[in-house]
Chain A
């Protein structure tokens, strides 16, 4: 049978509001960070990335903020839409070694 999984942290946001998903990373040598979106039953999709020489990067409706001092990464989604409902994973990379965070489930309320 399947393992009993951990309960993912859930963020519920009203449609149209902004969402902020947070992630703490552990390796101070990580120099590349990525956010992925995973919809139910599908593989993760790349959303946005940032290198350690930057502290902010913007994409279409998404912004990633990196605070290396406290080893914190966040993903901001502007004007959240129902299609944004998914599980969001952060990943840190040190060379070829990628480590994924536990994930956060974003639930968009109508």
Chain B
């Protein structure tokens, strides 16, 4: 099956710093990638939809200036949490759509655990 990687898997940072998370589709081209946030024992919360070569579409309540998304190529999307604060601590997961197959299935990355001190 399709493989999606995320880097880093874990990051601890000080309050006020910015953190960049990378999401890569390793063996397919992903015109669309999604970024999710997951709080403990809760389902995935969609933050934004990232389309290659265009601006990301953010869900209501998600600050686009705080969560910067760049999808510069068909295999890479990045999420930058700017001026991170403890309340941004969470598990961030990306997924990618493999539109070359017939199923339009989302394939998920392994997630990034962000802890802001």
A residues with CB within 8 A of B: 1-3, 5-8, 32, 34, 36, 41-46, 49, 89, 91, 93, 96, 98, 100-103
Contacts and interface: CB of A to CB of B under 8 A. Distances in A.
Interface of B: 1, 4, 6, 32, 34, 39-44, 46, 49, 86-87, 89-91, 93, 95, 97, 103-111, 113
B4 to A, nearest CB: 8
A17 to B, nearest CB: 25
Nearest to A93: B104
B49 A36 contact: no
B21 to A, nearest CB: 12
Given A46-B1, A98-B46, A2 B40 contact: yes
B90 A2 contact: yes
Contacts of A7: 41
B108 A36 contact: yes
B43 A41 contact: no
Given A41-B111, A43-B6, A100-B43, 16 more contacts: A1-B89, A2-B39, A2-B40, A3-B40, A5-B42, A6-B42, A8-B41, A34-B105, A42-B111, A46-B106, A49-B103, A91-B106, A96-B104, A98-B106, A101-B43, A103-B42
